[in-house]
Amino acid sequence: MQNLIVADSSVWIEVLTGGPKAAEVKKYLGETLLVPEITLAEIAAKLYSYGGWRVDVILKSICQKGHVRGLNPLVAARAGELRAKHKDSGLSLNDAVIWATAEYYGAKLLTLDKDFVPFRNAIVL
């Protein structure tokens, strides 16, 4: 069975900007990648805030590297449940959608974000 990885937007930004953990992150990007649609929006927002990036080209490239996944009723319901359960610890609705997507597909969640520590299949770098 393939190892499925959902890479959080923090991971993509780390690689794109050549951050200090980029080399470590790249070790995981050879797996089968699932990309929640909300992750694309988070990446776009971050890159637009930096300025000077060809956001359209980058998003297209990410879509070619992974399998984009949208919301379905089960993922949406689980995301709402996760948000309600973990909102006091700072879990955003976007992160809840990413977590729920990883759960739904039985994937590991690769992130630099401590908000995902409670997810048993998180790889927090």
Tens-digit pLDDT profile for residues 5-63: 999 999 999 999 999 999 999 888 877 899 999 999 999 999 999 998 999 999 999 99
Overall pTM surpassing 0.85 (yes/no): yes
The reply to whether 96 falls in a domain is yes
Residue range 75-84: mean pLDDT, rounded: 97
CATH number, domain containing residue 88: 3.40.50.1010
Give pLDDT, residue 89: 86
Provide the pLDDT for residue 3.
86
Higher pLDDT, 119 or 82: 82
Q: Is residue 124 part of a domain?
A: no
Given a cut of 70, whether residue 1 has pLDDT beyond it is: no
57 lies in some domain? yes
Per the domain annotation, does 118 fall within a domain? no
What is the pLDDT, as a whole number, of residue 26?
A: 87
Q: Is 59 helix (H, G, I), strand (E, B) or coil?
A: helix
74 located within any domain? yes
Question: Over the chain, what is the mean pLDDT?
Answer: 93
Nearest to 27 by CA among 17, 41, 14: 14
Note whether residue 76 is domain-resident. Answer: yes
Buried b (16+ CB within 10 A) or exposed e, 29-42: eebebbbbebbbeb
- Residue 122: band (very low, low, confident or very high) from pLDDT cuts 50, 70, 90: very high
Q: CA-based diameter of the chain, in Å?
A: 40
How many folded domains does the chain comprise? 1
Q: How distant, in Å, are the alpha carbons of 68, 78, 85 from that of 4?
A: 13, 19, 25
Supply the range of the domain harboring residue 21: 4-113
Is 26 a member of any domain? yes
The answer to whether residue 121 is domain-embedded is: no
